[in-house]
Amino acid sequence: MKKITSRIWSGIALASAATVVLAGCAAAPTDNATDVPKVDYLACGVSDEGSWQDKSFNQSVYEGLTKSESELGVSIAAAESATPDDFAPNLQSMIDQSCDIIIAVGFNLVDAVNTAASANPTMNFVTVDGWANEGVTNLKPINYAMNQSSYLAGYLAAAQSTTKVVGTYGGMQIPAVTDFMTGFYNGAKAWGTDNATDVTVVGWDPSSEKGDFIGDFTPNSGTSKTIAAGQIEKGADVIFPVGGDQFGAVSEAITESGIDGRMIGVDKDIAAASPEYAQWILTSAEKRMTNAVFDIIKGIAIDGTAFSGDVYLGTLDNGGTALSPITNYTGAAAQADVEAKLAELQAGIVDGSIDPVAVVG
């Protein structure tokens, strides 16, 4: 027994000595000045279920915080929630830190952040994808008109498609998801009207509100792949999956069916964020939460604007949502012509002459 113990200790001692010898030889640095002056402002974030490195909306917000830290010199604090049980305690720990602004990510936190905001009326809160209850004025919702960029994506999808059948499906049938799908549907139909061609959209019908849904947001589940394969079966060669990371499932379905298919990304520029999917990505409908978070923090911490509980709505107009650069386009019309048309449509959406969510007959 004694022998084992002393061996363990000598092993530990040897390992630490080696670490010191191998790693400890560099010269001590002199005081290095930071580029950005420190600002006395503490910006805090609480994640939805899932980590800050989820390659989706949590990460977008977190990058907004880290960008503010490095470019604006504010301090940040962030807490991940593993289960809904963590929402309230995580918010409370941020309140205890006296954060200047507390950003709650995801509509799952909407109850918790409303409770926290009404219990702490002198503090400022932000809810991403949520809303402020009646009378809660210190809670700023960040929302997105995702139908606008999705409309452009639908138009582009129809232009790319050789079968003139395009598909879309969602994680769950909730407004935050169907908003994408309705815009996509209307955009694809608009291309059909412009070119006097019949375009079929499978997976979602805004007038009957029926469509294909996975049932959850599990990345690349078997159900997701089955839906994608079913849509390809119906002739779809461009698919727009609205449910976080479903691109593995769609790309597998495309590969296995042997068609020359494309998919359209959501939330982030998927071709850049996940290069393994880049060869199938036509474009992405981006939800630029990083910018929204950065702009809100910059407005208050640097420019000195007062905090307001008004809704921040990300649109094509303010750049909160947009299409990523088009890649892998092989449609009949020249890409430059389609891009010109998309710019025209974008102007129409911005000035209000095109309504991306209007019910098409």
Chain residues binding other proteins by CB under 8 A are 1-2, 4-5, 8, 19-20, 23-29, 44, 49, 77-80, 82-86, 88-90, 92-94, 96-98, 107-108, 111-112, 115, 172-176
Alpha helices per DSSP H over the chain? 2-23, 57-72, 87-96, 110-119, 146-160, 175-194, 222-233, 247-257, 270-273, 289-301, 335-351
Shortest CB 347 distance to other proteins, Å: 32
User: How far is the C-alpha of 16 from the C-alpha of 10, rounded, in Å?
Assistant: 10
Nearer to other proteins, 108 or 328 (CB): 108
Q: Which residues pair with 281 in a beta bridge?
A: 263
CB 129 within 8 A of CB 57: yes
Nearer to other proteins, 97 or 226 (CB): 97
CB 269 within 8 A of CB 324: yes
Nearer to other proteins, 34 or 83 (CB): 83
Nearer to other proteins, 30 or 353 (CB): 30
Shortest CB 213 distance to other proteins, Å: 9
Strand (E) or helix (H) holding 358 = none
**Neighbouring C-beta atoms of residue 187, cutoff 10 Å:** 31
Residue at 253: amino acid letter: A
Nearer to other proteins, 57 or 191 (CB): 57
**Residue located via tokens 């949502």:** 321
Nearer to other proteins, 131 or 307 (CB): 131
Shortest CB 65 distance to other proteins, Å: 12
Residue whose C-alpha is closest to residue 162's, from 271, 283, 259, 263: 259
Residue whose C-alpha is closest to residue 128's, from 315, 273, 311, 303: 311
Shortest CB 273 distance to other proteins, Å: 22
Shortest CB 34 distance to other proteins, Å: 14
Shortest CB 306 distance to other proteins, Å: 23
